[in-house]
Amino acid sequence: MNISFGDNVKILASSETDALGISGKLGQVYGETTPSVTSMEVIGELAEDYAINVSIEGFDETFWLAPQLLEFVDHGQGTALEIGNRKAVRRADGSWEELREL
């Protein structure tokens, strides 16, 4: 399963995630990047030029991780997103329900 924006994930154990104290933690995907373009420091060895940004409750920073260090949990049903005067809410199937303009 492809992990995407808004999904909830579990951080898998590795020497890097253990050292940071994030192994086994749950987080939410906030973004993705191409590290060769953005020069982001990524946790884990990249199999492809692709990394996922995860926010973990209780941490002041977000973490850029190699995809193989993440396990899909769910699509973050109920997550709300507001951009300008538009709002959308995440459905259980991963789609977004756009609500009327605010």
Q: What is the pLDDT of residue 2?
A: 87
Q: What is the pLDDT of residues 13-52, one digit of tens each?
A: 999 999 999 999 999 999 999 999 999 999 999 999 999 9
Single out the residue of 41, 9, 7, 34 nearest to residue 23, CA to CA: 9
In degrees rounded to 5, what are phi and psi of residue 56? -120, 125
The domain spans of the chain are: 8-73
Q: For all residues of the chain together, what is the average pLDDT?
A: 94
State the amino acid at position 74 in one-letter form. D
pTM for the full predicted model: 0.90
* The pLDDT of residue 1 is above 70: no
pLDDT of residue 25: 98
pLDDT tens digits for range 3-14: 999 999 999 999
